[in-house]
Structure formats: C-alpha cells, structure tokens
Structure 1
Amino acid sequence: MGLRTGVLAVVVLLIAALAALNWSVLAAPTVMSLGFMQVTAPLGLIMLGLTVLLAIFFAAYVVYLHSTVFFESRRHTKELQAQRDLADRAEASRFTELRNFLESQENAHMARNAERHAALLARVEQLESAIRLRADQTDNTVAAHLGQLEDRFERRPASSAAVMPPAV
C-alpha cells in the first residue's frame, strides 16, 4: 500500500470514528436556511452526506483518470509495437539488400578472379610454348654444332687423332 493510500485510509477512519462518537450531535435537528426557505433538519447528517457524496465523486473521478491513463497506455503500447515492427521490417529489408549487394560484389569478384586466372593460364601456356621452342632451337643448335665438330673431327688426318684423348 502506498503512502498516499495509507494517509487517505487513516483520514477516512478518523472521520468515521468522529461521526460514530458524535452521532447524537450530528442527528440533532436544527433550523437551516436554504436561501429561499427555512427547513428543520439534522445539519450534521446533511454535512456528513455531502462529504460522502464528495468522496464518491472523487473516487469516480480517480477511477475515470486511471482508466483513461490505462487505455492511453495500451494505445501507446500498440503504436510502439507497430513502430517496432515497422523498424524491424525496415532493418530486415536493409539486411536483405546488404546481403544481395555483398553477393553481387562476391560474384563480380569471382568473375574477375576467373578472368585473371584464365589470362594467367594463357600466359603460362604461352611461356611454356616459348620455352619449348627455345629448347628445341637450342637442341637443334647443339646438334648442329656437334655435327660440325664431328665433321671436323672426321676430316682431320689420323695422326692428329692419336694425340686427342679418348671420348668419354
């Protein structure tokens, strides 16, 4: 129980105790003026009744305020949830858009890598062909030089052949 509720309960109990202890005074009839006529009635009971009526109106007003705040709070909660759902959908669409962008970038990167790989393989193949050609030319050149040396060796007289060391 809150502090305000406790204080209000104590005040109501004090008023009820005061009315119970002084019931005979409250119920004593007196002459009252209503402005346009005079009436004999118990003034204390009329004042007590007006106080109870005022308390009932106050309680009804408090209930009205609480219900208004409650319904307003529910409306705000629903609006907040709707905004949260909208933000979640927007964020999800941004994530989808980002994923699509990253996938397109990855595909473009893979295509560039494939092109570079194909170009590199073509260049390696070209270099291998050039090396093979060069090796064949070198083989032919060496064979030609060996052929020339053999021809020279065979054309030499036999005496100079004895001086030469044996072939390995």
Structure 2
Amino acid sequence: MKLRTLSVLLALLAVAAFTVLNWSVILAPTPLSLGVIDIQAPLGLIFLALMALLVAVFLVYVLYLQSTVMFDARAHAKELQANRKLADQAEASRFTELRGFLELEFKRLAVTDREAKATLEARLDQLERALRLAVEQSGNSLAANLAEMDDRSRSTGLTPR
C-alpha cells in the first residue's frame, strides 16, 4: 500500500477505536443551542455523524477526480492514436514520394547510360574504321615497298634466296 493510503486507514482506525472506547460518553445527552432553540442531544454522536458525512464527501470527491483523470487519459490516448496514425500516413507518403523520385532518377540514369553507350559505340566504330584504314594503308605501303624492293633486287641482279 502507499504511505498516504496507509496513513488514512490508520487515522480511520484510531477514530473507530476512540469511538468504541468512549461510546457511552458519545451517546450522553448534552444541552445544545441551535441559535433559536435549545435542545438535548448527544454532542459526540452529532460530531461523529458530521465526520462520517465529511469522509463520504471526500470519497465522492476522490472518485470524481479519478473518473475525470480516467476520461482525460482516454481522450489523450485517442488523440495520441490519431496523431500516430497521421504520422504513419505522412511517413508512408514520404516513402511513396521517395520511391517516385528514385524511379525517375533510375529512368534518367538509364537514358544517360543508353546515350553514353551509343556515343561509345559510335566512337568505337569510328576508331575501328580508322584502324582498318590504317592497316589497309600499312598493307598497301608494305606491298608497295616490297614490290619496290623486288624491282630493285631484279634490276641489280640480286635474287632473294
């Protein structure tokens, strides 16, 4: 138990013990003045009834406070759930937006890749043609040089072995 609850229970037990021990005095009639009239009534019993009424009022007040807190907690829980749902939806929309952005970027990169590949293939074709031309020219030049050397060797009378 909490210290507060324990102290309230101890106080109520002390009042109950005091009441039981002094019951005959509590019930003893006493002259009381109500302002307009004087009556004979047990003063202890009146104070005991007032104390019981005060305890009942405090219990009702505590129950009211607890119910108010419970209703507020429930309202806050619903509001928190609604905010959590909004946050989840916002996060989902950000993921959707990110997915769209990434798809667009990948498409752009694919187009850029295709363009670079086409440029590279065109350049390779150009280099291949230039290489063929160079090989052809080298072949022609070599053939011309060989033919010239052959002509010289024949004209000088040297024959290849």
Relative to the length of structure 2, the TM-score reads 0.92
Cα displacement (A) at 1:105:
1.3
**Within 5 A, what are the aligned runs for 1:72-111?**
72-111=72-111
User: Which 5+ residue runs of structure 1 have no aligned equivalent?
Assistant: none
Equivalent position SS for 1:167: coil
Over residues 110-145 of structure 1, what are the superposed CA-to-partner deviations in whole Å (9 max), with x where a residue is unaligned? 211121111001101110011101211221222233
Equivalent position SS for 2:144: helix
What corresponds to 1:45 in structure 2? 45
Cα displacement (A) at 1:47:
0.7
What corresponds to 1:121 in structure 2? 121
For 2:75 and 2:149, locate their aligned partners in 1 and report how far apart those are by CA, in whole Å: 108
Cα displacement (A) at 1:12:
0.1
Runs of 4+ in 1 over 4 A off after TM superposition: none
Cα displacement (A) at 1:35:
1.4
The letter for the 2-side match of 1:167 is: P
Q: Name the stretch that deviates more: 44-53 or 26-35.
A: 26-35
For 2:40 and 2:160, locate their aligned partners in 1 and report how far apart those are by CA, in whole Å: 161
- What is the aligned length? 161
Equivalent position SS for 1:138: helix
| Higher CA-based Rg | 1
For 2:120 and 2:62, locate their aligned partners in 1 and report how far apart those are by CA, in whole Å: 84
- The percent identity for this pair of structures is 49
**Within 5 A, what are the aligned runs for 1:15-94?**
15-94=15-94
What corresponds to 2:149 in structure 1? 149
Equivalent position SS for 1:35: coil
What corresponds to 1:132 in structure 2? 132
What corresponds to 1:167 in structure 2? 160
User: Which 5+ residue runs of structure 2 have no aligned equivalent?
Assistant: none
For 2:76 and 2:20, locate their aligned partners in 1 and report how far apart those are by CA, in whole Å: 47
For 1:153 and 1:16, locate their aligned partners in 2 and report how far apart those are by CA, in whole Å: 146
Equivalent position SS for 2:31: strand
Over residues 73-131 of structure 1, what are the superposed CA-to-partner deviations in whole Å (9 max), with x where a residue is unaligned? 11111101111111111112112211221221122112111211110011011100111
For 1:5 and 1:149, locate their aligned partners in 2 and report how far apart those are by CA, in whole Å: 124
